[in-house]
Amino acid sequence: MKKDVFAVEIIQDSLLAIGDEMFVALARSSMSPVIYEVLDYACGLTDAKGNLISQGNGVTSFIGMLSPMVQRVIEKFDNGKKLHEGDVIIINDPYVGGGSHLSDVGLVLPIFYNGEIIAYSANKAHWTEVGGMDPGSFTSNSNEIYQEGLQLPGVKLYHQGELNDAVYEIISTNVRLPELSIGDMFAQVAALKTGEKRIAELCQKFGAESVKLSIQKLLDKGEKIVEYELQHLPKGEFYAEDFIEGDPLKGGPYPIKVKVTISDEAFICDFRGSHPAVNVPMNCSQFGLMASVRVMFLALLGDIDVINEGVFKRLTIITDDNSIVSAKRPHPVSMNFEAR
Protein backbone atom coordinates (compact mmCIF):
# COMPACT_ATOMS: atom_id res chain seq x y z
CA MET A 1 0.00 0.00 0.00
CA LYS A 2 2.90 2.37 0.64
CA LYS A 3 3.73 2.37 -3.09
CA ASP A 4 0.11 2.78 -4.24
CA VAL A 5 0.22 6.36 -5.56
CA PHE A 6 -3.51 6.33 -6.24
CA ALA A 7 -4.29 5.46 -2.61
CA VAL A 8 -1.95 8.24 -1.44
CA GLU A 9 -3.79 10.77 -3.61
CA ILE A 10 -7.18 9.58 -2.37
CA ILE A 11 -6.06 9.84 1.26
CA GLN A 12 -4.65 13.33 0.70
CA ASP A 13 -7.88 14.56 -0.88
CA SER A 14 -9.78 12.98 2.00
CA LEU A 15 -7.64 14.80 4.55
CA LEU A 16 -8.44 18.12 2.88
CA ALA A 17 -12.14 17.26 2.78
CA ILE A 18 -12.17 16.38 6.48
CA GLY A 19 -11.19 19.93 7.42
CA ASP A 20 -14.09 21.25 5.37
CA GLU A 21 -16.53 18.73 6.84
CA MET A 22 -15.50 19.68 10.38
CA PHE A 23 -16.08 23.31 9.46
CA VAL A 24 -19.64 22.63 8.31
CA ALA A 25 -20.36 20.43 11.33
CA LEU A 26 -19.43 23.22 13.75
CA ALA A 27 -21.57 25.82 11.97
CA ARG A 28 -24.62 23.54 11.89
CA SER A 29 -24.26 22.65 15.59
CA SER A 30 -23.46 26.11 16.98
CA MET A 31 -25.71 28.33 19.06
CA SER A 32 -24.28 31.81 18.35
CA PRO A 33 -24.68 34.04 15.28
CA VAL A 34 -20.99 34.90 15.57
CA ILE A 35 -20.37 31.27 14.59
CA TYR A 36 -23.13 30.33 12.13
CA GLU A 37 -23.49 33.79 10.55
CA VAL A 38 -20.12 35.52 10.88
CA LEU A 39 -18.13 32.24 10.60
CA ASP A 40 -15.63 33.47 13.20
CA TYR A 41 -13.94 30.10 13.65
CA ALA A 42 -11.63 27.53 12.08
CA CYS A 43 -11.36 23.74 12.10
CA GLY A 44 -8.58 21.45 11.01
CA LEU A 45 -6.25 18.52 11.43
CA THR A 46 -2.60 18.24 12.37
CA ASP A 47 -0.23 15.32 12.29
CA ALA A 48 1.00 13.62 15.46
CA LYS A 49 3.62 16.38 15.92
CA GLY A 50 1.14 19.23 15.60
CA ASN A 51 1.94 20.17 11.99
CA LEU A 52 -1.10 21.54 10.17
CA ILE A 53 -2.49 19.12 7.57
CA SER A 54 -5.70 20.82 6.49
CA GLN A 55 -7.92 23.65 7.69
CA GLY A 56 -11.47 24.77 7.03
CA ASN A 57 -11.54 28.50 7.64
CA GLY A 58 -14.11 31.22 8.17
CA VAL A 59 -12.21 34.39 9.13
CA THR A 60 -8.69 34.78 7.79
CA SER A 61 -7.30 35.74 11.22
CA PHE A 62 -7.19 32.06 12.22
CA ILE A 63 -4.99 30.96 9.32
CA GLY A 64 -2.25 28.73 10.66
CA MET A 65 -3.14 29.26 14.35
CA LEU A 66 -4.26 25.70 15.01
CA SER A 67 -0.81 24.12 14.74
CA PRO A 68 0.91 26.10 17.56
CA MET A 69 -2.16 25.44 19.70
CA VAL A 70 -1.83 21.69 19.19
CA GLN A 71 1.93 21.84 19.69
CA ARG A 72 1.38 23.61 23.02
CA VAL A 73 -0.98 20.84 24.12
CA ILE A 74 1.52 18.15 23.08
CA GLU A 75 4.28 19.92 25.02
CA LYS A 76 2.16 20.44 28.12
CA PHE A 77 1.04 16.82 28.28
CA ASP A 78 4.52 15.29 28.25
CA ASN A 79 4.97 15.06 24.50
CA GLY A 80 1.48 13.58 24.23
CA LYS A 81 2.21 10.73 26.64
CA LYS A 82 -0.37 11.99 29.16
CA LEU A 83 -3.12 12.19 26.58
CA HIS A 84 -5.72 9.44 26.27
CA GLU A 85 -8.40 8.43 23.82
CA GLY A 86 -11.45 10.60 24.42
CA ASP A 87 -9.51 13.54 25.91
CA VAL A 88 -10.44 17.06 24.82
CA ILE A 89 -8.25 19.98 25.89
CA ILE A 90 -9.57 23.55 26.09
CA ILE A 91 -7.24 26.55 25.72
CA ASN A 92 -7.58 30.29 25.09
CA ASP A 93 -4.34 31.64 26.59
CA PRO A 94 -3.32 34.51 24.25
CA TYR A 95 0.37 34.23 25.04
CA VAL A 96 0.95 30.56 24.19
CA GLY A 97 -0.29 28.00 21.73
CA GLY A 98 -1.76 30.05 18.92
CA GLY A 99 -3.66 32.42 21.19
CA SER A 100 -5.19 35.69 19.99
CA HIS A 101 -7.58 37.09 22.60
CA LEU A 102 -9.58 35.34 25.30
CA SER A 103 -12.80 35.20 23.26
CA ASP A 104 -11.13 32.85 20.77
CA VAL A 105 -11.40 29.48 22.51
CA GLY A 106 -9.60 26.45 21.14
CA LEU A 107 -10.28 22.74 21.59
CA VAL A 108 -7.88 19.89 20.78
CA LEU A 109 -8.61 16.15 20.53
CA PRO A 110 -5.91 13.49 20.04
CA ILE A 111 -6.94 10.93 17.42
CA PHE A 112 -5.84 7.41 18.36
CA TYR A 113 -5.75 4.31 16.19
CA ASN A 114 -4.65 0.99 17.69
CA GLY A 115 -3.30 2.83 20.73
CA GLU A 116 -1.19 5.31 18.73
CA ILE A 117 -1.83 9.01 18.16
CA ILE A 118 -2.20 9.34 14.39
CA ALA A 119 -3.32 12.97 14.26
CA TYR A 120 -5.03 15.75 16.19
CA SER A 121 -8.40 17.31 15.53
CA ALA A 122 -8.54 20.99 16.50
CA ASN A 123 -10.69 24.08 16.23
CA LYS A 124 -10.84 27.65 17.47
CA ALA A 125 -14.03 29.70 17.73
CA HIS A 126 -14.97 33.16 18.93
CA TRP A 127 -17.34 32.73 21.87
CA THR A 128 -20.05 35.30 22.53
CA GLU A 129 -18.88 35.59 26.15
CA VAL A 130 -15.90 34.54 28.28
CA GLY A 131 -16.57 36.90 31.21
CA GLY A 132 -14.44 39.91 32.08
CA MET A 133 -15.19 43.52 32.87
CA ASP A 134 -17.43 44.21 29.85
CA PRO A 135 -20.30 42.22 28.31
CA GLY A 136 -19.21 40.28 25.25
CA SER A 137 -15.65 40.20 26.62
CA PHE A 138 -14.60 43.04 24.32
CA THR A 139 -13.09 46.01 26.14
CA SER A 140 -11.34 49.13 24.95
CA ASN A 141 -10.09 50.27 28.35
CA SER A 142 -8.58 47.23 30.06
CA ASN A 143 -5.00 47.60 31.26
CA GLU A 144 -4.26 43.94 32.01
CA ILE A 145 -5.44 40.55 30.80
CA TYR A 146 -7.22 39.72 34.05
CA GLN A 147 -9.95 42.25 33.23
CA GLU A 148 -10.71 40.68 29.86
CA GLY A 149 -12.23 37.34 30.81
CA LEU A 150 -11.72 33.76 31.90
CA GLN A 151 -8.28 32.33 31.06
CA LEU A 152 -8.14 28.65 30.10
CA PRO A 153 -4.50 27.52 30.05
CA GLY A 154 -4.93 24.14 28.35
CA VAL A 155 -6.83 21.80 30.67
CA LYS A 156 -8.85 18.68 30.01
CA LEU A 157 -12.47 19.47 29.29
CA TYR A 158 -12.97 15.74 28.73
CA HIS A 159 -10.88 12.98 30.27
CA GLN A 160 -11.12 9.63 28.49
CA GLY A 161 -14.53 10.60 27.14
CA GLU A 162 -15.96 11.90 30.43
CA LEU A 163 -16.86 15.58 30.78
CA ASN A 164 -14.85 17.36 33.49
CA ASP A 165 -17.72 18.73 35.56
CA ALA A 166 -15.46 21.11 37.50
CA VAL A 167 -14.15 22.82 34.36
CA TYR A 168 -17.68 22.93 32.93
CA GLU A 169 -19.01 24.60 36.07
CA ILE A 170 -16.17 27.13 36.20
CA ILE A 171 -16.89 28.17 32.62
CA SER A 172 -20.68 28.32 32.95
CA THR A 173 -20.41 30.37 36.16
CA ASN A 174 -18.01 32.94 34.68
CA VAL A 175 -19.80 33.79 31.42
CA ARG A 176 -22.84 36.04 31.11
CA LEU A 177 -24.50 34.00 28.35
CA PRO A 178 -23.77 30.38 29.26
CA GLU A 179 -26.38 28.95 26.90
CA LEU A 180 -24.58 30.44 23.90
CA SER A 181 -20.99 29.89 25.05
CA ILE A 182 -21.53 26.36 26.36
CA GLY A 183 -23.63 25.52 23.30
CA ASP A 184 -20.79 26.60 21.01
CA MET A 185 -18.33 24.63 23.12
CA PHE A 186 -20.30 21.42 22.57
CA ALA A 187 -20.56 22.26 18.86
CA GLN A 188 -16.77 22.45 18.78
CA VAL A 189 -16.59 19.03 20.43
CA ALA A 190 -18.95 17.64 17.78
CA ALA A 191 -16.71 18.99 15.04
CA LEU A 192 -13.63 17.44 16.67
CA LYS A 193 -15.35 14.06 16.80
CA THR A 194 -16.26 14.37 13.13
CA GLY A 195 -12.56 14.65 12.32
CA GLU A 196 -11.75 11.76 14.64
CA LYS A 197 -14.34 9.54 12.96
CA ARG A 198 -13.11 10.30 9.44
CA ILE A 199 -9.45 9.67 10.29
CA ALA A 200 -10.40 6.33 11.85
CA GLU A 201 -12.27 5.42 8.66
CA LEU A 202 -9.21 6.21 6.56
CA CYS A 203 -7.00 4.08 8.80
CA GLN A 204 -9.45 1.19 8.62
CA LYS A 205 -9.67 1.38 4.84
CA PHE A 206 -6.05 2.06 3.90
CA GLY A 207 -4.04 1.29 7.03
CA ALA A 208 -2.44 3.67 9.51
CA GLU A 209 0.97 3.56 7.82
CA SER A 210 -0.52 4.65 4.49
CA VAL A 211 -2.35 7.51 6.21
CA LYS A 212 0.86 8.69 7.89
CA LEU A 213 2.76 8.43 4.60
CA SER A 214 0.08 10.48 2.83
CA ILE A 215 0.23 13.14 5.56
CA GLN A 216 3.99 13.48 5.13
CA LYS A 217 3.69 13.68 1.36
CA LEU A 218 1.03 16.37 1.72
CA LEU A 219 3.36 18.43 3.94
CA ASP A 220 6.21 17.92 1.45
CA LYS A 221 3.93 19.04 -1.37
CA GLY A 222 3.15 22.27 0.48
CA GLU A 223 6.83 23.05 0.93
CA LYS A 224 7.66 22.32 -2.72
CA ILE A 225 4.86 24.60 -3.92
CA VAL A 226 6.28 27.49 -1.89
CA GLU A 227 9.83 26.75 -3.07
CA TYR A 228 8.56 27.18 -6.62
CA GLU A 229 6.45 30.28 -5.93
CA LEU A 230 9.31 32.06 -4.14
CA GLN A 231 11.29 32.03 -7.38
CA HIS A 232 8.69 34.34 -8.93
CA LEU A 233 8.57 36.99 -6.20
CA PRO A 234 10.71 40.16 -6.42
CA LYS A 235 13.91 39.78 -4.39
CA GLY A 236 15.41 42.21 -1.93
CA GLU A 237 14.54 44.15 1.23
CA PHE A 238 11.30 46.08 1.58
CA TYR A 239 10.32 48.45 4.39
CA ALA A 240 7.03 49.74 5.79
CA GLU A 241 5.94 51.75 8.82
CA ASP A 242 2.51 52.73 10.12
CA PHE A 243 0.90 53.84 13.37
CA ILE A 244 -1.93 52.75 15.64
CA GLU A 245 -3.86 55.82 16.72
CA GLY A 246 -3.46 56.56 20.40
CA ASP A 247 -5.68 57.87 23.19
CA PRO A 248 -4.79 61.42 24.32
CA LEU A 249 -5.28 60.27 27.90
CA LYS A 250 -3.20 57.11 27.60
CA GLY A 251 -0.53 57.77 24.99
CA GLY A 252 0.21 57.00 21.37
CA PRO A 253 0.29 56.91 18.45
CA TYR A 254 2.19 53.63 18.43
CA PRO A 255 4.53 52.85 15.50
CA ILE A 256 4.72 49.43 13.85
CA LYS A 257 7.69 48.76 11.58
CA VAL A 258 8.54 45.86 9.33
CA LYS A 259 11.40 44.88 7.04
CA VAL A 260 10.56 42.12 4.58
CA THR A 261 13.45 40.20 3.06
CA ILE A 262 12.70 37.94 0.10
CA SER A 263 15.15 35.49 -1.43
CA ASP A 264 14.85 32.27 -3.42
CA GLU A 265 15.05 30.31 -0.15
CA ALA A 266 13.23 32.40 2.45
CA PHE A 267 10.63 35.04 3.24
CA ILE A 268 11.58 36.96 6.40
CA CYS A 269 9.41 39.53 8.19
CA ASP A 270 11.31 41.54 10.82
CA PHE A 271 9.13 43.68 13.10
CA ARG A 272 11.93 44.83 15.40
CA GLY A 273 11.70 48.49 16.23
CA SER A 274 7.93 48.45 16.70
CA HIS A 275 6.56 50.08 19.86
CA PRO A 276 6.88 48.13 23.14
CA ALA A 277 3.74 46.48 24.53
CA VAL A 278 1.30 48.98 26.03
CA ASN A 279 -1.22 48.94 28.88
CA VAL A 280 -4.18 49.38 26.53
CA PRO A 281 -5.82 46.43 24.77
CA MET A 282 -4.57 46.89 21.20
CA ASN A 283 -1.51 44.69 21.67
CA CYS A 284 -1.41 41.37 19.89
CA SER A 285 0.51 38.25 20.84
CA GLN A 286 3.16 36.76 18.58
CA PHE A 287 0.57 34.23 17.42
CA GLY A 288 -1.88 36.92 16.35
CA LEU A 289 0.95 38.51 14.38
CA MET A 290 1.89 35.12 12.93
CA ALA A 291 -1.64 34.55 11.62
CA SER A 292 -1.77 37.96 9.94
CA VAL A 293 1.65 37.54 8.35
CA ARG A 294 0.68 34.09 7.09
CA VAL A 295 -2.44 35.54 5.46
CA MET A 296 -0.40 38.12 3.56
CA PHE A 297 2.24 35.53 2.67
CA LEU A 298 -0.45 33.33 1.11
CA ALA A 299 -1.87 36.33 -0.75
CA LEU A 300 1.53 37.06 -2.31
CA LEU A 301 2.01 33.44 -3.34
CA GLY A 302 -1.18 33.47 -5.37
CA ASP A 303 -3.80 30.79 -5.85
CA ILE A 304 -2.30 27.67 -4.26
CA ASP A 305 -4.48 24.64 -3.60
CA VAL A 306 -2.72 23.37 -0.47
CA ILE A 307 -2.45 25.16 2.89
CA ASN A 308 -0.53 23.25 5.53
CA GLU A 309 2.55 23.53 7.73
CA GLY A 310 4.83 22.80 4.79
CA VAL A 311 3.64 25.98 3.09
CA PHE A 312 4.94 28.09 5.98
CA LYS A 313 8.31 26.35 6.37
CA ARG A 314 10.13 29.09 4.45
CA LEU A 315 8.45 31.92 6.38
CA THR A 316 10.26 33.49 9.34
CA ILE A 317 8.89 36.17 11.68
CA ILE A 318 11.18 38.20 13.97
CA THR A 319 10.06 40.57 16.75
CA ASP A 320 11.44 42.34 19.76
CA ASP A 321 10.65 40.73 23.09
CA ASN A 322 7.29 41.97 24.44
CA SER A 323 6.50 44.50 21.73
CA ILE A 324 3.06 45.70 20.68
CA VAL A 325 3.02 42.83 18.16
CA SER A 326 4.47 40.22 20.53
CA ALA A 327 2.88 41.09 23.87
CA LYS A 328 3.41 38.96 26.94
CA ARG A 329 1.36 38.48 30.11
CA PRO A 330 -0.25 40.52 31.59
CA HIS A 331 -0.55 43.05 28.74
CA PRO A 332 -4.16 43.30 27.50
CA VAL A 333 -5.05 41.99 24.02
CA SER A 334 -8.83 42.31 23.71
CA MET A 335 -8.64 44.53 20.60
CA ASN A 336 -5.64 42.64 19.24
CA PHE A 337 -6.65 43.21 15.61
CA GLU A 338 -5.58 46.86 15.95
CA ALA A 339 -1.93 45.79 15.97
CA ARG A 340 -2.34 43.07 13.37
Three-state helix/strand/coil letters over 90-136:
EECCCCCCCCCCCCEEEEEEEEEECCEEEEEEEEEEECCCCCCCCHH
pLDDT at 2: 47
Closest CA to 90 of 78, 103, 73: 73
The last residue of one of the domains, among 183, 200, 220, is 220
pLDDT at 64: 81
179 and 122 part of one domain: yes
153 and 281 part of one domain: no
Our count of domains for the chain comes to 2
Contacts of 85 (CB under 8 A, 6+ apart): 110, 112, 160, 161
293 and 210 part of one domain: no
How far, in Å, are 27, 64, 94, 200, 330 from residue 56 at the CA level? 11, 11, 21, 19, 31
Expressed in angstroms, the distance from the first to the final Cα of the chain is 45
Q: How is residue 62 annotated by DSSP?
A: G
Low-confidence ranges of the chain (pLDDT < 50): 1-2
In a domain, 319, yes or no: yes
State the Cα–Cα distance between residues 127 and 60, nearest whole angstrom: 17
Closest CA to 111 of 27, 214, 228, 203: 203
- Is residue 147 within 8 Å of residue 133, measured between CB atoms? yes
In a domain, 225, yes or no: no
Q: What is the separation of C-alpha 272 from the centre of its chain, rounded to a whole number of angstroms?
A: 23
pLDDT at 59: 82
Show the domain range for 283. 230-338
In a domain, 255, yes or no: yes
287 and 333 part of one domain: yes
Q: Phi then psi for 281, rounded to 5 degrees?
A: -85, 30
What's this model's pTM, rounded to 2 decimal places? 0.94
The CATH number assigned to the domain holding 120 equals 3.30.450
- Is residue 103 within 8 Å of residue 137, measured between CB atoms? yes
